[in-house]
A and B are shown apart, each in its own frame.
Chain A
Amino acid sequence: GAVVSQHPSWVICKSGTSVKIECRSLDFQATTMFWYRQFPKQSLMLMATSNEGSKATYEQGVEKDKFLINHASLTLSTLTVTSAHPEDSSFYICSARRGGAGETQYFGPGTRLLVL
Chain B
Amino acid sequence: GIQVEQSPPDLILQEGANSTLRCNFSDSVNNLQWFHQNPWGQLINLFYIPSGTKQNGRLSATTVATERYSLLYISSSQTTDSGVYFCAVDEKLTFGTGTRLTIIP
User: CA of A43 to CA of B33 in the docked complex: distance in angstroms?
Assistant: 14
Confirm or deny: A44 has a beta carbon within 8 angstroms of a beta carbon on chain B: yes
- Min Cβ gap A26→B in Å is 15
Interface string of B62-105 (1 = CB under 8 A from A): 00000000000000000000000010100111111110000000
* B interface, CB within 8 angstroms of A: 30-31, 33, 35, 40-45, 48, 86, 88, 91-98
Overall SS of chain A's interface: strand
* A interface, CB within 8 angstroms of B: 34, 36, 38, 43-46, 49, 91, 93, 95, 101-102, 104-107, 109-110, 112
- Min Cβ gap A48→B in Å is 10
Verify B93–A46 contact, CB threshold 8 A. yes
- Min Cβ gap B64→A in Å is 19
